[in-house]
Chain A
Amino acid sequence: MQLNVQGVLPEFLTDRPGIRSSGVWCADLTAKPAEHISVQAVSGAGKTTFVHILYGLRQTYAGSVKWGEQTLSDADPEKLARIRSTGLSIVFQDLRLFPGLTAWENIEVKRSLTGIVTAEQAVAWLERLGLADRRNALAATLSYGERQRVAIVRALAQSFNWLIMDEPFSHLDHTNRENAIVLIKEVVQQNNAGLILADLNANNYFSYTQTWLM
């Protein structure tokens, strides 16, 4: 499904005229299916806000966001749930794991929603990201980097048309980041999906087809 963003500006930025000259806010943007988009922004430019708007978490903004034929602001909670469970997947900047569940259980909560990805696949992905011995540890006891990897596997544990990631590798060392990138590439390709990665700096983690500067 294609993404169309038209003149989006969150309410809290309306009193900051300078920010409107960015390549994202108030702009008309289009991303075709399976494109790889890099969103770059300095700290405080509203990068996470933009990601939340794309995922339907924030409703207070001007303009419109369309995934395929569905305008996000028109989607009722049931439709939004369907989009999130089958069309869009996300790695939050603040990860948002259940602290009382183990690493594996956090993945299971997501995976069991659709059952598309098998348990064996998910276990293999955890192992590839170096979390084989940490799968039964409570999320609250994991380091931030470990939680980041769990959040990545959780985001991959469903079918999707677009994978949205907000600074997904910020706390990963070089090896773990490379492993994560390879895994993400594989799964995105399997799903014939597109990806949107928001980060502070320019990067070459993926072969981007567009870069949106904020």
Chain B
Amino acid sequence: MSSTTQHTLLRRLLLLPGSRIRSVLALLALGVGTALLLLSISTWWNFNALVNGSNRAGSTKAIVVVGKNITDYNMASVSGNSFSTGEIAYLRSAPEVLDVGEIISAGFPVYAMMGGQITMATDLPLASVPDRFLDTIPDAWTWQPGDRNLPVLLSTQFLDIYNYVFAPGQGLPQLSRTAVKSIALKMQVGGQHGQVLTAHVAGFSDDIGAVLAPESFIAYGNKTFQVAPISGPSQLVLRVKDPSAASFISYLQQHGYTVNPGNLKWSRIRSIVEATTTITGLFALLLMGISGLVLVLFIQLTVSRSYEALILLGQLGYSSSFLRRFMLRRFMPPVTVAMAVALLIAVAVQVAASQTVLSGSLPLPALPGWPVWLAFAICYAMILILVSRSLRRALK
């Protein structure tokens, strides 16, 4: 006699046929509810991973450039649109802000000339930011008085304007990033009586819309060639935990500061994503609650249908704990399968999403984040406890 035969007999006595549709529907609802819950958590987690800029080199946070809103009333006052020391200090304690850096503009003329195949001459808007705010710090990112070569970082916006607007219109060749780096620019610094330097584009900046030079160069130039006094930085660069956080956006709006429209766009997207995931999550919890209830009712119905057999088994010496374990082993496998399928769906969606997003240069983890696994573990434990307690009450 094997335990298999015993289990077969007990199954015939205790798990009477019928109510199959009800149990399948309950398991289906449980699976769908679990999948929706895991997917909504996964979506929320992925969105946070993207907006928090985990792909940024050397930093896990986002860089935001802020300035004062230029209106018809204040546009004539350059000094009024600069940031005072007090305002900078106040910004350091603003929500989500981790660090504040000043963008120092060059207070002296800079004239760049390019010879050879591309003949072009233009004034350059030079500025500097503390090195810790740069996307990537080039190898030779230094300058000291007497150096003839000056490394600069070019805004990617400038390169785009040249390649897509200026070059086609002027019959000039378009330039790749590598080509731009190989070009030497002759720079007249500080006017006709200033110095001539050779500038090389050492890299590109996505965040700051200026040509960046090392801090030491701008400090030297402002001290040596400055033609007009500068009251303070007109732009600040911030490192923030979450640029789309409502508290941060609200703070900027209250103080009349402007930011990159992209940050506001993220904020709006974030609101939509949060609302969608919250509603989906609540719906999923409701679905899981209903399926849990149906599952409990199904268990109680099963126990009540086999009530006489349970009583007689007890009289023959079967303990209630043995019968409870037997019933649990019969109920939990389909529940486990339903929830495992839901987890597999969440994992498959994450894998597909990571591959899709990767093609857009936005890395997402190939597997769901820890909140998804935690949510699954909690849901499974809760269902196990629910079924176990339901059986305990029914088999008392």
Q: Which residues of A contact B (CB under 8 A)?
A: 55, 57, 77-78, 81-82, 84-86, 96, 98, 100-101, 105, 108-113, 115, 118-119, 158
Contact = CB atoms under 8 A, between A and B. Distances in A.
Given A98-B13, A108-B9, A81 B1 contact: no
B1 A108 contact: yes
5 contacts: A77-B319, A96-B312, A98-B309, A101-B9, A109-B9
A112 to B, nearest CB: 4
Given A78-B321, A84-B317, A113-B318, A108 B13 contact: no
A84 B13 CA distance: 20
Interface in B1-54: 1, 3, 5-6, 9-10, 12-13
Nearest to A106: B9
Contact of A100 (B6, B12, B316, B321): B12
A82 B314 CA distance: 10
Contacts of A86: 317
Given A85-B316, A111-B1, 15 more contacts: A55-B315, A77-B314, A77-B319, A78-B321, A81-B318, A85-B319, A100-B13, A101-B12, A108-B1, A108-B5, A112-B1, A113-B6, A113-B317, A113-B318, A119-B1
Interface string B306-337: 00010011111111111000000000000000
A81 B6 contact: no
B316 A84 contact: yes
Q: How large is the interface on B (under 10, 10 to 19, 20 to 34, 35 or more residues)?
A: 20 to 34
Contacts of B316: 84-85, 109-110, 113
Given A112-B3, A115-B1, A105 B9 contact: yes
Contacts of B12: 100-101
Contacts of B312: 96, 98
A55 B12 CA distance: 27
Contacts of B9: 101, 105, 108-109, 112
A86 B319 CA distance: 12
Which 7 A-B pairs give the minimum distances between C-beta atoms? A85-B317, A81-B319, A84-B317, A112-B6, A112-B1, A119-B1, A78-B319
Tell me what chain B mostly uses at the interface: helix, strand, loop, or mixed: helix
B13 A81 contact: no
Most buried by A among B6, B315, B317: B317
A77 B318 CA distance: 10
Contacts of B10: 109
B303 to A, nearest CB: 16
Contacts of B13: 98, 100-101, 109
A118 B315 CA distance: 22
Nearest to B308: A98
A75 to B, nearest CB: 12
B317 A158 contact: yes
A26 B6 CA distance: 42
Nearest to B323: A81
Contacts of B319: 77-78, 81-82, 85
A139 to B, nearest CB: 12
A110 to B, nearest CB: 6
Given A84-B315, A98-B13, A112-B1, A77 B6 contact: no
B317 A109 contact: no
Contacts of A105: 9
A109 B314 CA distance: 12
A164 B309 CA distance: 21
Contact of B320 (A81, A98, A109): A81
B309 to A, nearest CB: 7
Contacts of A100: 12-13
Interface centre among B5, B9, B315 (most CB of A within 10 A): B315
A135 to B, nearest CB: 14
Nearest to B312: A96
Contact of B315 (A96, A111, A115): A96
Nearest to B395: A77
A100 B9 CA distance: 10
Nearest to A85: B317
Nearest to B313: A109
Contacts of A81: 314, 317-320, 322
Nearest to A112: B6
A105 B314 CA distance: 17
Contacts of B6: 108-109, 112-113
A125 to B, nearest CB: 14
Contacts of B5: 108, 112
Contacts of A55: 315
Contacts of B309: 98
